[in-house]
Amino acid sequence: MSAIHPATAAPATARDALLCRVEDRLRDLLATEASRWSAVDPRAAVPVEAVAALVGAGGKRLRPAFCLNGFLAASGDPAREPVAVDAAAALEVLHAFALLHDDVLDDSPLRRGEPTAHERHAAAHRAAGWAGEPRRYGEGVAALAGDLAHIYADRLVSELSPAAREIWHELRIEIMVGQYLDIRVAAERIADPELSRWIAVCKSGRYSVHRPLTLGAAIADRLDLAAAFERYGAALGEAFQLRDDMIDAFGDSAVSGKPTGLDFAQQKMTLLVALAMPRDERISRLLAGQSAGGATLAQIITDLDVQGEVERRIDHLVQQAQAAIAEVPIDPAWRDELARFAVQVAYRQK
Amino acid sequence: MSAIHPATAAPATARDALLCRVEDRLRDLLATEASRWSAVDPRAAVPVEAVAALVGAGGKRLRPAFCLNGFLAASGDPAREPVAVDAAAALEVLHAFALLHDDVLDDSPLRRGEPTAHERHAAAHRAAGWAGEPRRYGEGVAALAGDLAHIYADRLVSELSPAAREIWHELRIEIMVGQYLDIRVAAERIADPELSRWIAVCKSGRYSVHRPLTLGAAIADRLDLAAAFERYGAALGEAFQLRDDMIDAFGDSAVSGKPTGLDFAQQKMTLLVALAMPRDERISRLLAGQSAGGATLAQIITDLDVQGEVERRIDHLVQQAQAAIAEVPIDPAWRDELARFAVQVAYRQK
Higher pLDDT pick, A142 / B111: A142
Residue B225 has pLDDT above 50, yes or no: yes
Contact flag B131-A289 (C-beta cutoff 8 Å): yes
Q: Please check whether residue A3 touches B, CB under 8 A.
A: no
How many beta-carbon pairs under 8 angstroms link A with B? 139
Please tell me whether residues B257 and B176 are part of one structural domain. yes
Please tell me whether residues B102 and B204 are part of one structural domain. no
Which chain B residues touch A151 with a CB distance below 8 Å? Answer: 169, 172-173, 176
Residue B315 has pLDDT above 50, yes or no: yes
Give the pLDDT band of residue B302 (cuts 50, 70, 90): confident
Please tell me whether residues A325 and A276 are part of one structural domain. yes
The pLDDT of residue A9 is 59
The pLDDT of residue B257 is 77
Residue of chain A whose alpha carbon sits nearest to that of B100: A143
Please tell me whether residues B153 and B179 are part of one structural domain. no
With residue B34 as reference, give the H or E element that holds it. Answer: helix B11-40
The pLDDT of residue B272 is 87
Give the CA radius of gyration of chain B. Answer: 21
Please tell me whether residues B181 and B291 are part of one structural domain. yes
Number of structural domains in chain B: 2
Most B CBs within 10 Å: which of A97, A184, A287, as the mutation test of the B interface?
A: A184
Q: Residues of A numbered 219-278 whose beta carbons fall under 8 angstroms of chain B's beta carbons: which are they?
A: 266-267
Give the pLDDT band of residue B1 (cuts 50, 70, 90): very low
The pLDDT of residue B65 is 98
Residue A294: count of CB within 10 angstroms of its CB: 6
Query: Is-contact A99 A123, C-beta < 8 A?
Result: no
Question: What percent of chain B is modeled with pLDDT above 90?
Answer: 69
The shortest CB-CB distance from A173 to any of B151, B176, B195 is to B151
Please tell me whether residues A115 and A241 are part of one structural domain. no
Please tell me whether residues B116 and B4 are part of one structural domain. yes
Q: Which residues of chain A have pLDDT under 50?
A: 1-7
Which chain B residues touch A132 with a CB distance below 8 Å? Answer: 183, 186-187, 266
Residue A110: closest CA among A299, A252, A302, A269: A252
C-alpha dihedral (B334, B339, B345, B347), degrees to nearest 10: -150
Q: Tens of pLDDT along B40-89?
A: 999 999 999 999 999 999 888 999 999 999 999 999 999 999 999 999 99
Under 8 Å CB-to-CB from A307, ≥6 apart: which residues?
A246, A250
Which chain B residues touch A182 with a CB distance below 8 Å? Answer: none
Domain boundary residue, one of A159, A188, A216: A159
Task: Kindly report the three-state secondary structure assignment for every residue of B249-297.
Answer: HHCCHHHHCCCCCHHHHCCCCCHHHHHHHHHCCHHHHHHCCCCCCCCCH
Residue B127: count of CB within 10 angstroms of its CB: 9
Query: Is-contact B79 B1, C-beta < 8 A?
Result: no
Which chain A residues touch B177 with a CB distance below 8 Å? Answer: 37, 40, 44, 47, 148
Residue B228 has pLDDT above 60, yes or no: yes
Please tell me whether residues A253 and A301 are part of one structural domain. yes
How far is B301 from chain A, CA to nearest CA, in Å?
A: 21
Q: Please check whether residue A1 touches B, CB under 8 A.
A: no
Please tell me whether residues B154 and B165 are part of one structural domain. no
Please tell me whether residues B170 and B274 are part of one structural domain. yes
Q: Where residue A86 sits, what CATH number does that domain have?
A: 1.10.600.10
The pLDDT of residue B6 is 47
Please tell me whether residues B278 and B236 are part of one structural domain. yes
C-alpha dihedral (B319, B324, B330, B332), degrees to nearest 10: 20
The pLDDT of residue A204 is 81
Average pLDDT (B189-217) is 90
Average pLDDT (B141-168) is 96
Q: Residues of B numbered 18-57 whose beta carbons fall under 8 angstroms of chain A's beta carbons: which are they?
A: 33, 37, 40-41, 43-44, 46-47
Q: Which long-range contacts (CB under 8 A, 24 or more apart) does B264-267 make?
A: B264/B296, B264/B297, B264/B298, B264/B301, B265/B298, B266/A132, B266/B106, B266/B186, B267/A131, B267/B186, B267/B189, B267/B297
Please tell me whether residues B82 and B97 are part of one structural domain. yes
Residue of chain A whose alpha carbon sits nearest to that of B183: A137
Helix axes B162-188, B211-219, angle to 10 degrees: 170
The pLDDT of residue B221 is 97
Residue B307 has pLDDT above 60, yes or no: yes
Q: Please check whether residue B112 touches A, CB under 8 A.
A: no
Domain boundary residue, one of A126, A159, A192: A159
Domain boundary residue, one of A159, A181, A210: A159
Domain limits at B312?
A: 160-350
Which chain A residues touch B186 with a CB distance below 8 Å? Answer: 131-132
Which chain A residues touch B143 with a CB distance below 8 Å? Answer: 101, 104-105, 143
CA distance A151 to A169: 13
Predicted TM-score (pTM) of the model is 0.93
Residue B105: count of CB within 10 angstroms of its CB: 20
Contact flag B41-A181 (C-beta cutoff 8 Å): yes
Which chain B residues touch A195 with a CB distance below 8 Å? Answer: 41
